[in-house]
């Protein structure tokens, strides 16, 4: 069985982009019997972007509740919190010691943050931290610890998986065959979903549509999706429209073909958005009810994550022992 692993950073509330790009395909795969899946909450990664403890805590709760509400079967996969598996941060240090600094300099996320920081005033908050710089090393440890072969992610994460692969190769070259080489799995049919302003939907742009908004709020958010000023009756270009792009992510191929022709016939924006609301709402309504119940049930969340951490550590502890021994940190006796 191939080992599949993916994570989600616990900052903010899960949004339609995370759902379509990561959570929905991961859960679908977890229900199939022919693979061994690891899904986790990247809560140490969260500290890079968020230094508000209450927000970090709340986000992990919301994301855990989201996966469980959507039907993740924790008996068939391993579902855990990164920070519950201390072996991962130990491995991070070892990887830090073989990872070239130059490799990290090339990270898109790091370069974007440096540029952002230069544009801000000098007393702008905390700027670029070591955590941000070495973010891909922690991510490599997440992946290599479990010898994951397939890492399903959105396109924005491909570079990080390639870096993990580089680190695995370098480690294997120096210390002997230890890690499997991971591969990013990007579903070509899944676009990076755009947000309210037409840029990639992202917590850092503040343009997201949270997945489990109540109906009224969901409608309100969808109405805020930026559109051009074409009037009802004027043909609209589906291929440059965020409304159409999100539609595609939720619709069947027939529904998509139908909406395409409605765009060409000049459907009013209000009507297209109403249809989009109904489509999304019908997919998420049931899970939303379960989500709201689970969110209140801290004991259930803790029990699920404890079970996951135990399963994850059963893999991580022997793997770390192997790594320690490979680098010269074995016992004496
Ligand atoms: P994160 O939390 O930014 O995103 C989680 C997953 O959601 C995908 N995604 C999207 N997909 C489609 N449209 C969007 N607008 C959109 N926004 C986000 C991301 O591609 C990702 O797959 N570093 C990772 C978390 C991580 C990880 C790992 C992933 C930590 N360790 C090990 C895989 C393996 C991150 O910040 O994802």
| Site of tokens 């616990």 | 10
The torsion region of residue 164 among left (phi > 0), alpha (psi -120 to 50) and beta comes to alpha
- Which 3 state secondary structure label does DSSP give 179? coil
Predicted confidence at residue 128, as pLDDT, reads: 87
206 is in an annotated binding site: no
| DSSP β-bridge partners for residue 6 | 39
- Is residue 200 in contact with ligand 1, taking CB distance under 6 Å? yes
Residue 183 φ/ψ, nearest 5 degrees: -130, 140
Q: What is the ipTM of this complex?
A: 0.97
CA atoms within 13 Å, Cβ hemisphere of 11 = 16
Two structure tokens written together for 270: 């209000």
pLDDT of 125 strictly over 60: no
Q: What is the pLDDT of residues 265-318, one digit of tens each?
A: 999 999 999 999 999 999 999 999 999 999 999 999 999 999 999 999 999 999
289 is in an annotated binding site: no
- Is residue 66 in contact with ligand 1, taking CB distance under 6 Å? no
In the reported structure, the alpha carbon of residue 7 is separated from the centroid of ligand 1 by a whole-number distance in angstroms of 7
pLDDT of 17 strictly over 80: yes
pTM value is: 0.91
CA 251 to chain centre: 22
Cα gap 274→279, rounded to integer Å = 9
- Which 3 state secondary structure label does DSSP give 36? strand
- Is residue 158 in contact with ligand 1, taking CB distance under 6 Å? no
Domains of the chain: 3-192+298-327 (3.40.50.620), 212-292 (1.10.240.10)
Q: What is the pLDDT of residues 69-113, one digit of tens each?
A: 999 999 999 999 999 999 999 999 999 999 999 999 999 989 988
Cβ 82 vs Cβ 43: under 8 Å: yes
């Amino acid at each position: 069985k191939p080992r599949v692993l993916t994570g989600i950073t616990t900052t903010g509330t899960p949004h339609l982009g995370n759902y379509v790009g990561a959570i929905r395909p991961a859960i679908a795969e977890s229900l199939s019997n022919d693979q061994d899946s690891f899904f986790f909450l990247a809560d140490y990664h969260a500290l890079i972007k968020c230094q508000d403890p209450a927000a970090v805590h709340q986000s992990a709760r919301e994301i855990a509740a989201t996966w469980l509400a959507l039907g993740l079967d924790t008996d068939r996969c391993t579902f855990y919190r990164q920070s519950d598996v201390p072996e991962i941060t130990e491995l991070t240090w070892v990887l830090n010691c073989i990872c070239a600094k130059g490799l990290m300099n090339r990270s898109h996320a790091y370069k974007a943050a440096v540029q952002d920081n230069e544009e801000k005033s000098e007393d702008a908050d905390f700027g670029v931290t070591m955590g941000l710089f070495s973010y891909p090393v922690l991510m490599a440890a997440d992946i290599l610890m479990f010898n994951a072969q397939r890492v399903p992610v959105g396109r924005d994460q491909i570079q990080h998986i390639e870096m993990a692969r580089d680190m695995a190769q370098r480690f294997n070259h120096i210390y002997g065959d230890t890690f499997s080489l991971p591969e990013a799995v990007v579903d070509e049919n899944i676009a990076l979903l755009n947000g309210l302003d037409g840029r990639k939907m992202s917590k850092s742009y503040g343009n997201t549509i949270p997945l489990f908004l109540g109906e009224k709020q969901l409608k309100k958010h969808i109405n805020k999706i930026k559109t051009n000023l074409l009037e009802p009756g004027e043909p609209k270009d589906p291929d440059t429209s965020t409304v159409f792009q999100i539609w595609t992510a939720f619709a069947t191929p027939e529904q998509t073909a139908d909406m395409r022709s409605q765009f060409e016939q000049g459907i009013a924006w209000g009507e297209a958005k109403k249809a989009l609301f109904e489509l999304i709402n019908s997919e998420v309504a049931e899970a939303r009810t379960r989500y709201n119940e689970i969110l209140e049930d801290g004991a259930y969340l803790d029990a699920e994550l404890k079970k996951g951490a135990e399963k994850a550590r059963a893999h991580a502890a022997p793997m770390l022992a192997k790594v320690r021994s490979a680098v010269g940190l074995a016992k004496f006796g």
